[in-house]
Amino acid sequence: MSLKENLEKLKSEGLKDIADSKEQHVLNDIRVKLLGKKGPITDTLRGMKDLPAEERPKIGSFANKIKEELAQAIADKQEEINKAIINEKLKKETIDVTLPSRKSNKIGTQHILNQIIDDIEELFIGLGYQVISGPEVEEDKYNFEKMNIPKNHPARDMQDTFYINDELLMRTHTSPQQARTMEKHDFSKGALKMISPGKVYRRDTDDATHSHQFNQIEGLVVDKNVTMADLKGTLEVLVRHVFGEERKIRFRPSYFPFTEPSVEVDITCFACGGSGCRICKFTGWIEVLGAGLVHPNVLKNSGIDPDIYSGFAFGVGPDRFAMLKYGVEDIRNFYSNDVRFIEQFKGEEA
C-alpha cells in the first residue's frame, strides 16, 4: 500500500470510528489515537523520508488535510454529544409549571407601631422636643414613688406589674422618664421639652384590648408659666397630625396621681365627624389619651421648685392610636408576628 492509500485508509477508518462513537470518553480516546503525537498518522508520515523530495510536500499537505477533516469530524461529534447531554438533562429536570410558586424573599415593612412612633417623634422634634429613651426594668422609686405614688398607696392597684425584686420592676408606664429627665435638666439652658417612647408592662390578662406589654409615648414640658392652654394646644397639634386636620379636642376631668389637674383627652370621631356612629359608640367623641399639669409633688421630688416652675405631661398609647386609626380590633395582632397582618401597613410610612 502506498503512503497515500495508507492515509486514506486511516481517514475512512477514523471517520467511521468517530461516527460510531456515542459517549464522551470514547470520543476522547479516538481524538488522542488519531491526532496525538503517537497516533498512526504521525507514524505513517515518518515513512515520508523514503519518498522522492518532490513528493514529500504533496503528501505532507494531503496528511494535514486529513488531519483537519478528522479534527472537524471530532468537533462536530463533540457538539452532537454536548447537545445529547443537555437534552438528557432537560428531560430529567423538567419543571412542572403548574405548581404554585415558592414565595421569593420579600422586602419587609416597618411595623405599624414603629411607624406611628417614628411619625410622632418627628412631629415633636419639629416642635423643639428631645426624644429620650429610658430603662424598661425600672426602680420602684421612679416608676411609683417619685410619681407621687408612695409604697402601699391604693393608686398602685391601677398599675400592677412584674417584679424583679422589691425595688425593681418592669415599668408600668413611661412616666418615670418624667422624673429621670427633670433631675438631669439644667433650667438655666431653657425649658425642658421631651418625649419618651418605649415599651411598658402590666400584670394584665391578654385579651382584645389588653396586652401585658404595650407601648407608650410620654410627653413632658417644664418651664415657667406652663398652663393647661399650652397642653391643649400641643395635644391639638398631635391629634390633628395623626387623625386629621378637622379633629376637635376636649378635656374631661380625670385622675392621675402625678398630674393635677388631670384630664382624659377626647377627639371628635374621625369616622363620623362627631355626629355619632358605631366607632364612637354614638357619642361623637373618642378617648385617645391621658394628660395633666405636673403635680407639685412630682416637681419637688425631682428638685424643682413648684412655685417657680410648672409643667404639663401626657401619655400617648401608640397601640391605641393604631387600633383607632386603622380599625384594628385586637391588640394581640401587633405582637403575634403574623406577616399577613404586618404587611398590610406597607406604604403607610410617612
Q: Site residues (CB under 6 A) for ligand PHE?
A: 173, 175, 256, 259, 290-292, 313-315
Residue placing its CB nearer to ligand PHE in the complex, 197 or 290: 290
Smallest distance from ligand PHE to CB 118, Å: 20
Residue 194: name the closest of 237, 225, 214, 223 by CA. Answer: 223
> What beta strand segments (E) does the chain contain?
130-131, 137-139, 168-170, 192-201, 213-223, 249-256, 259-268, 285-294, 310-316
**Residue 309 · residue 178 · CB < 8 Å:** no
Residue 85: is it exposed, middle or buried by C-beta count within 10 angstroms (0-12/13-18/19+)? exposed
Minimum separation from the CB atom of position 283 to ligand PHE (A): 21
- Distance in Å, CB of 223 to ligand PHE, minimum: 17
Q: Residue 260 corresponds to which cell in the numbers above?
A: 393635677
Nearer to ligand PHE, 21 or 216 (CB): 216
Whose Cβ is closer to ligand PHE: residue 41's or residue 294's? 294
Of the two residues 315 and 318, which places its CB atom closer to ligand PHE in the complex? 315
Q: How far apart are CA 257 and CA 41, in angstroms?
A: 108
Closest CB to ligand PHE: residue number: 315
Q: How far is the CB of 288 from ligand PHE (least distance, A)?
A: 12
- Judging by DSSP bridges, how do beta strands 259-268 and 285-294 pair with one another? antiparallel
Measured between alpha carbons, how far is 47 from 240 in angstroms, rounded to an integer?
104
- 216's torsion region: left (phi>0), alpha (psi -120 to 50) or beta? beta
Cell matching residue 214:
404595650
Q: How far is the CB of 338 from ligand PHE (least distance, A)?
A: 27
Q: How far is the CB of 315 from ligand PHE (least distance, A)?
A: 3
CB of 202 to ligand PHE, least distance (A): 9
Question: Could you write out the DSSP letters of every residue in 146-180?
Answer: GGT--TT-GGGGGG---BSSSSEEE-SSSTHHHHH
Minimum distance from residue 140 beta carbon to ligand PHE (Å): 15
**Nearer residue to ligand PHE within complex by CB, 39 or 315:** 315
Contacts of 76 (CB under 8 A, 6+ apart): none
**Closer residue to ligand PHE in complex, CB, 147/342:** 147
C-alpha cell at 31: 481524538
Q: Which is nearer to ligand PHE, 34 or 239 (CB)?
A: 239
Cβ proximity to ligand PHE, 214 vs 270, nearer residue: 214
